[in-house]
Amino acid sequence: MKEITLEAIENTEGVNGINVWEKGVFMKLEKAKKISKTGKYHETFNALASLLPEEITNKCTSKQIAIIIDLMRDQRTIGHDAGYKDAK
């Protein structure tokens, strides 16, 4: 039986030139979007997800990614509200 390595997976071309590894990360983020309370705001979710380091998206589960993105959004909201109150 042929051994499957990370290198072999990363080099496997899939549909439309997207390799299997990228497709797995994409599917993980789509599942995180469904779990996350921020997921209903597609542009916000995608903007926050794009800020995540590759190590996070590769090693964390969809649920963990959803929690991280929700915390990132909450942090931004708290900072925005505090800045607004200070500006008054």
d(CA 21, CA 13): 9
d(CA 4, CA 54): 22
Beta bridge partners of 19: 13
- Does the pLDDT at position 76 exceed 80? yes
Contacts of 13 (CB under 8 A, 6+ apart): 19
Q: Is residue 81 part of a domain?
A: yes
Number of domains in the chain: 1
The pTM of this model reads 0.68
pLDDT in tens, 12-64: 454 444 454 567 788 899 999 999 999 999 889 988 988 888 888 889 999 99
Q: Is residue 10 part of a domain?
A: no
- Does the pLDDT at position 2 exceed 50? no
Q: Is residue 50 part of a domain?
A: yes
CA angle 26/61/31 to nearest 5° reads: 45
Tell me which residue range forms the domain holding 39.
33-88
Nearest CA to 71 out of 53, 49, 55 is that of 49
